Structure 1
């Protein structure tokens, strides 16, 4: 599903906030990019909604959610044991996405394209589709004790969360290009990557299954008995942190919060004076054109289609 929030895209371009893109440009470009990636990875999108409110003018809302289910017998929930292998699979690692998790919450302007573009991850939809195909194979998922996807923090987080004790070999991480140092390899947020924990005797079988889907898979770390996260690069230890310290989540933070009282009188007013006003409102506008950019049938598993009924115009509502 995809739920977004934007200002009125019909507003004249000369009313665009200084240093910002027009709402029309944001709505159209975001929908094109989101649907392109989702359709290519083979994800059925059953619900697409866009909310229009002046509160989204300065900061657009983009919310995507994927719900998946698997037979219980295909899922293992086990604690990693010393000696277990940690395998990285999927795309290679580059500088794209470094600082992306924090950069996405910063204030942006037209200069951001030249000063912060590298914080945006470079997507590779066909690579993600291979990962989805691999994880649909029950014989493969039953080999996995624990797994994590790569998001904020890259290797340091995705692998760092898998076990209390870890020895990570950053030299083993395959790169998109040469020149990355240890820190960049540790925190890059390059997409389409997964980390899995398997027993040492299962590592070869897992790697073979990944290779069969044309995915790169290789061991980059091992679970250790001592509760410390150790990272090694160029033959030297560049990070050696205790799990006790990592579990503190950093310094304690305090913030003073003042919740402003809202004027609620507007909520009691009649929203529309006539059916003409209602029909002209964005709140009641059809989202069918937007929804049809997204493939709702891929995988042949859809139960409730986005639009049905006698005239094929009724949004799906699960009851």
Structure 2
């Protein structure tokens, strides 16, 4: 399933998030999930997530000992279950954790794994016949251990609707932001990204093994180029324009761009234009012609073509679906 083809859900339907933990969990992935879902970004007044740390007992995460808020049985009551990864994939995941995750999904929960948490979902049978990923260093092990799983080692995350998996480290943040975008829309997800000082969107189909998954703040000249482009999405920028601003040749720009983002300058630029269009469709009453101009698409015909191909529905359908679902919850923010 394309990560673009999922429309925003109604917030009350995904309001409770359970972080499923056990000994040996990777503290980075656990911290990422708690940071994203634990508190709303400034200015967002719509109902946010109610987060609970769920484990069978006190768990050791790195050098820290954490006391869960509830037992693993709480997973069955959650709307979304997040399974962070853990360090030792040579050992099978704990049976009680696997059983609890399986029961949660059977009860209707959306289940997402971060990094090697995919091994828990695979052990629970949730990935059989589904496309999935994990950290690139463990994709071969996952494929060999669970042959029914369609392991894709070349993506940041895979969205199967009620079951989602991510690659490691920074890709865990990408998937968490993707979930916020599905639930709250692009504007709110971008607000979370701004709070965390990370790129607002990396497509799930993007290659996971890149030199710098998230551009470093001192990664000159690209660190200065990204915000420069984002402020000029209404302009008909070309690769030559970007190269000139970065003070390098177009060929060098392409090489640096792929190393920093895993994609080409033009594809990245198109992604940002589409995301801006989504945000404007969600938060304004501007017509498609005006949005095409504001996003540098030029004409409504061009916007409709790229939007439909990328998102899976026309702009008008996207707006109606988003608004109708938001209207079912009057407290939801439409900035």
Band the TM-score falls in, shorter-chain normalisation: under 0.3
TM-score relative to the length of structure 1 = 0.26
Q: Of Structure 1 and Structure 2, which has the larger fraction of its residues in strand?
A: 1
Q: Of Structure 1 and Structure 2, which has the larger fraction of its residues in helix?
A: 2
More contact order relative to length (CA 8 Å, sep ≥ 6) = 1
